[in-house]
Amino acid sequence: MATDAPATPGELAPEDRLRAAGLRVTAPRLGVLTALEREPHADADTVARHVRAALGAVSTQAVYDVLHALTEAGLLRRIEPAGSAARYETRVGDNHHHLVCRSCGVVVDVECSGDAVPCLTPEPAHGFVVDEAEVTFWGLCPTCTSESKENA
């Protein structure tokens, strides 16, 4: 069997992604990538805890530095749902959106409906040069829905 198979078929392993982006391969960086593959949409603190569990001591600074560097390099995408700290994910490049639970804050990916990009261009763009359309769906996750029913 292959060692360290990439999480997503067709994608490079963490190490190779770093190299491809012209970044040095370091333990904290691999740790951050691995942590986010294991738990997508984690915030900085959660990532730090994962990385520390895997590698031992890693400074908070280092985690923030890595998250910034990888986001800058396009290996991570940073999302910031209203009301929660910044979260990161390794799914980049595709146009997917997010579904956020108002109650527990959990975030799940949703594909952009259909294969076309529906809302990518607002009609009269007010002179803006638009480069991205971000769609966030708000609601209640299955767990929180059933919990609120119980209390009703």
Partner DNA sequence: TCGCTAACTTGACTCATTCCAGATAAGACT
Partner DNA sequence: AGTCTTATCTGGAATGAGTCAAGTTAGCGA
Q: Is 128 exposed, middle or buried (0-12, 13-18, 19+ CB in 10 A)?
A: exposed
The entry of its own copies, DNA, none that residue 61 binds, CB within 5 to 8 Å by partner kind: DNA
Among its own copies, DNA, none, residue 62 binds (CB under 5-8 Å by kind): DNA
Q: How far is the CB of 145 from its own copies (least distance, A)?
A: 5
Q: Which of 83, 93, 151, 152 lies at the binding interface for its own copies (CB under 8 A)?
A: 83
Q: Considering only residues 89 through 148, tell me which ones interact with its own copies, judged by CB under 8 A.
A: 97, 99, 101-102, 108, 110-111, 113, 118-119, 121-142, 145
Q: How crowded is the C-beta side of 53, counted as CA atoms within 13 Å?
A: 10
d(CA 48, CA 63) in angstroms, rounded, equals 6
CB of 81 to its own copies, least distance (A): 8
CA dihedral 125, 127, 133, 138 (to 10 degrees): -70
The site map against DNA for 22-41 (x = CB under 7 A) is: -xxxxxxx------------
Give the 3-state secondary structure of residue 89.
strand
Structure tokens at 147: 């919990």
Q: Based on C-alpha coordinates, what's the Rg of the chain?
A: 18
Tokens of 97: 């959106």
Contact status: 58 vs DNA (CB under 7 A): yes
For residue 60, state whether it binds DNA (rule: CB under 7 A). yes
Contact 89, 41 (CB under 8 A): yes
Q: Is 4 in the site for its own copies (CB under 8 A)?
A: no
- Chain residues in the site for its own copies (CB under 8 A): 78-80, 82-83, 86, 97, 99, 101-102, 108, 110-111, 113, 118-119, 121-142, 145
